Amino acid sequence: MGAPAGSKAADQLEIIEASPPKKGRKGGGARPLLFVHGAFAGAWCWAEHFLPYFAQQGFRACALSLSGHGDSPGRERLDWLSIDDYVNDLEQAVSTVGGDPVIVGHSMGGFVVQKYLERASAPGVVLMASVPPQGLVSSSLALAFSNPRLFSDVNAMMHHGRVSLDALQQVLFAHPVEVEKLRACYRRMQPESQRAMWDMSFFNLPHLRRERCPPLLVLGAECDILVPASQAEQAASYYGTEAEIFPGMGHLMMLETDWQKVADRIVEWLRTLKPDRA
């Protein structure tokens, strides 16, 4: 499996990309895809499975690292970055990728996509284990009361980017993960902007009346303790649709053992969208 190609100058956002083979493309006029990662992560979380797989299915698949994440600039001012800054990043990435992409947002990335829809339209949006329009308060309180130690570990990860491998396994995955894979994930994870977390809790929640809602696919994970399945269902209800919950799966749906089931469902849904004939 070839590694996705990078696309970044020193002062630009990191965008990595996997392109479909020139021969035997299955996409047939399909729009490109733009993947937006969640908190503590970067474009790297899509690179192992999703980008090459969607490229094989005929889609030009691109993943963005938001400011202060991955190899994008801004790490030194991470705690000052807001959700609006991340929305600005997404606007820039949409322009850079071109082709009016379908946008796939995971966790915090899904929240950023919802805020983006207050400014711009999209031909389609997938929300994966996304922070719901109601924000983080409900899920944070539920975790704090049900598992105070794990809640403390999550906060430590936000502030210091440090957490035990056991906690990382419990927070992000439902299936057991090989130690080396956990270590690789740990090495790549990072702190998150405290300002952005406050925005997602209280200060900058989405406004449905302002959003230009496109065709929407909402996916959740049965064993997700960061964004519980009930939160995915709330988000779907907010947008007048139904969530699809994947059994036996944790928060990092794109890196879970059954990641291909999620990818295949997205491909199936993408085929129902109006193709780009421009």
Instruction: Spell out the SS3 assignment of 69-126.
Output: CCCCCCHHHHHHCCHHHHHHHHHHHHHHHCCCCEEEEECHHHHHHHHHCCCCCCCCEE
Q: Based on the structure, what is the number of domains in the chain? A: 1
Q: Which residues does residue 18 pair with via DSSP β-bridges, in sequence order?
A: 61
- Residue 177 phi, psi (nearest 5): -120, 140
Q: How far is residue 222's CA from residue 195's CA, in Å, rounded to a whole number?
A: 29
H/E stretch holding 2 reads none
Confidence (pLDDT) at 176:
86
Residue numbers of the chain with a pLDDT score lower than 70? 1-3, 5-11, 23-29, 139-151, 153-163, 276-278
Instruction: Give domain status of residue 178, yes or no.
Output: no
Q: Which pTM does this prediction carry?
A: 0.90
Q: What is the pLDDT, as a whole number, of residue 154?
A: 65
| Residue closest to 102 by CA, chosen among 77, 76, 75, 123 | 123
C-alpha closest to that of 36 among 82, 87, 79: 87
pLDDT at 20: 93
Do the domain assignments include residue 54? yes
In a domain, 144, yes or no: no
Residue type, 171: V
Q: Which structure tokens are listed for 57?
A: 């299915």
The answer to whether 100 and 240 are in contact (CB under 8 A) is no
Domain annotation covers residue 181 = no
pLDDT value at position 2?
43
185 lies in some domain = no
Spell out the residues 6+ positions from residue 204 whose beta carbon is closer than 8 angstroms to its own. 82, 83, 84, 115
Does residue 26 form part of some domain? yes
Q: Which of 28, 24, 18, 3 is nearest to 60 (CA)?
A: 18
Q: Is residue 77 part of a domain?
A: yes
Q: What is the pLDDT of residue 171?
A: 83
CA distances to 103, 160, 162, 211 from 120, rounded to whole Å, are 12, 34, 36, 8
Confidence at residue 61, expressed as pLDDT on a 0 to 100 scale: 98
Q: What is the pLDDT of residue 149?
A: 66
Q: Is 276 exposed, middle or buried (0-12, 13-18, 19+ CB in 10 A)?
A: middle
Domain that holds residue 223: 5-135+193-270
The predicted pLDDT at position 266 comes to: 98
Contacts for 18 with CB less than 8 Å, ≥ 6 apart: 2, 4, 5, 51, 52, 54, 55, 60, 61
Torsion of CA 236, 62, 79, 75, to 10 degrees: 170
Question: Do residues 263 and 54 lie in contact, with contact meaning Cβ atoms separated by under 8 Å?
Answer: yes
| CATH number of the domain that residue 55 is part of | 3.40.50.1820
Q: Which helix (H) or strand (E) holds 221?
A: strand 216-221
Residue 240 lies in a domain: yes
User: Radius of gyration (Cα) for the chain, nearest Å?
Assistant: 17
